[in-house]
Amino acid sequence: MTSAGRPRAKRDSGTEARILEAARAVFVRSGTGGARMQEIAAEAGVNQALLHYYFRSKDQLAQAVFRELGTRIVPSILGAFASDDSLDRKIERFVHAYIDAVRESPFIPGYILAELHFNPERLTTLAEQITGSDPANAMRSFVERLRVDLNQQAAIGAMRSIAPEQFLVNLIALCVFPFAARPVLRLLLGQDDDAFSRFLDERRAELPDFILNALRP
Amino acid sequence: MTSAGRPRAKRDSGTEARILEAARAVFVRSGTGGARMQEIAAEAGVNQALLHYYFRSKDQLAQAVFRELGTRIVPSILGAFASDDSLDRKIERFVHAYIDAVRESPFIPGYILAELHFNPERLTTLAEQITGSDPANAMRSFVERLRVDLNQQAAIGAMRSIAPEQFLVNLIALCVFPFAARPVLRLLLGQDDDAFSRFLDERRAELPDFILNALRP
DNA sequence: ATAAATTAACTAACTGGTTAATTAATGAGA
DNA sequence: TCTCATTAATTAACCAGTTAGTTAATTTAT
């Protein structure tokens, strides 16, 4: 028998995963408001009722997708700051980790940003999920640690003084924005997929220097 | 008589404007997919049929809102680059113009980015509207002019060498992202409206230096 | 036999959009 | 200046199609 009297995986196991995958595709390209359950069912190759069988409602399905994508990306990039590397090195690791993590699914940042704009309450759920309840507090202590780091660098004359909030926003902006604004770049700079990829290569190599240089005293 | 046998402004002129205003509010907070015509009608205080009387369809109404917001912001910030100031000064003007233009309606960048993510084709229409057909070409010549500027600064040793595309993305990212990511900042950094406003003041003052410093050789 | 997985068919509510009728400015002519 | 036809503005009621969600029956692994 399986684990706990729980009869599992009858006909075609993996259905739930297939549904989630289809939902991800549809939600990412259409948003929660624009997505249609029917379209998701079709893309998953199942009956529409199955979506409700596995995920009670459209909203819960949307939340599941959002949670999955959010928790997949955030930790990978936060990891760079968990190490005890030098600040210089942390910045470089962050930039590389983010670009590497996101480049194979470049619509995700735009989707997450959009979804957060229209449903800001989702952030609470997501943040609790990641930090384990009380995200604001976890974040505050993170920011304070960063403040100490930055002040120390400023004290020894290695960096100019900067508020940790400004620093964080700058760092994240420079990483996230090119993805979020990809449709704009595509049209306005005439970037096809290939050009965008080269653009990212260049960026990955140069961005850490750009940031460190900006912080030079 | 009026201009051309065209009887104008009967009962309550300004209805169209009121509808557009209501539509703006609803679309900005819910997106095209999430918005409901009924909600817009209610917010405008008119019958739902009037929305169709003035703007044939939901899509056309959404486009009208998008166009209005897009054309309101873009030129004001592009203006900074039209001048013949020094590059340093252009950067400063751009940062100031953007923050000043957007700070009183801080959801607009998030809305525009989200809308472009889900309906990238809207960008074409908008860009044509602003540049007067053939936006890709207008943009290319703009980028090339910028390239010359940047190369010149690099040649005289005033700046490090940087591709105009990277430069543009950096500049815009640093300006736009704080607004687009506002819900995140609000929760994660615990910023209320007031704290956000102070954050913007600080940013407006420091960001030009940050960018110029990053470009130092 | 049992219970999970899956489906076809359905429904109740809602959606964007239409229609036909009503109201009120406007300008032309008597 | 007083009709009066004309035309724009506005509404209530309606419609057809779609939507998320349900149900009851069927399949299938154990």
Query: How would you write A25-67 as a 3-class SS string?
Result: HHHHHHHHHHCCHHHHHHHHCCCHHHHHHHCCCHHHHHHHHHH
Does A110 contact B117 at a Cβ distance shorter than 8 Å? yes
B173 touches A: beta carbon within 8 Å: yes
Question: For residue A7, what pLDDT is reported?
Answer: 37
* Greater model confidence, A163 or A125: A163
Distance CA(B215)–CA(B161), nearest Å, equals 8
Give the H/E segment covering residue A198.
helix A193-215
pLDDT in tens, A107-126: 999 999 999 999 999 998 89
Label residue A131 by pLDDT band (50, 70, 90): confident
Which residues 57-116 of chain B have a CB within 8 Å of chain A?
Answer: 107, 110-111, 113-114, 116
Question: For residue A2, what pLDDT is reported?
Answer: 29
Taking alpha carbons only, the member of B58, B121, B106 closest to residue A117 is B106
Distance CA(A143)–CA(A129), nearest Å, equals 19
What are φ and ψ of residue A158, in 5° steps? Answer: -85, -20
Q: What angle do CA A118, B31, B16 make, to 5 degrees?
A: 135
Label residue A76 by pLDDT band (50, 70, 90): confident
Q: Which residues touch strand C (CB under 7 A)?
A: A 6-13, 15, 46-50, 53; B 1-2, 5, 7-11, 35-38, 48-49, 52, 56-59
Instruction: Give the predicted TM-score (pTM) of the model.
Output: 0.92
Does B117 contact A140 at a Cβ distance shorter than 8 Å? no
Least confident of A11-15, A75-79, B168-172: A11-15
pLDDT in tens, A90-104: 999 999 999 999 999
3 state SS of B32: helix
Å between B5 CA and nearest CA of chain A: 43
Q: In this complex, how many residue pairs, one in chain A and one in chain B, have their CB atoms less than 8 Å apart?
A: 178
Q: State which residues of chain B have pLDDT below 70.
A: 1-13
- List strand D contacts in A 50-79 (CB < 7 A): 52, 56-59
Q: Which residue is nearest to nucleotide C9 (CA to C1')?
A: A49
Distance CA(A184)–CA(A186), nearest Å, equals 5
Question: For residue B14, what pLDDT is reported?
Answer: 85
Mean pLDDT throughout A41-70?
A: 96
Q: What angle do CA A112, B122, B100 make, to 5 degrees?
A: 70
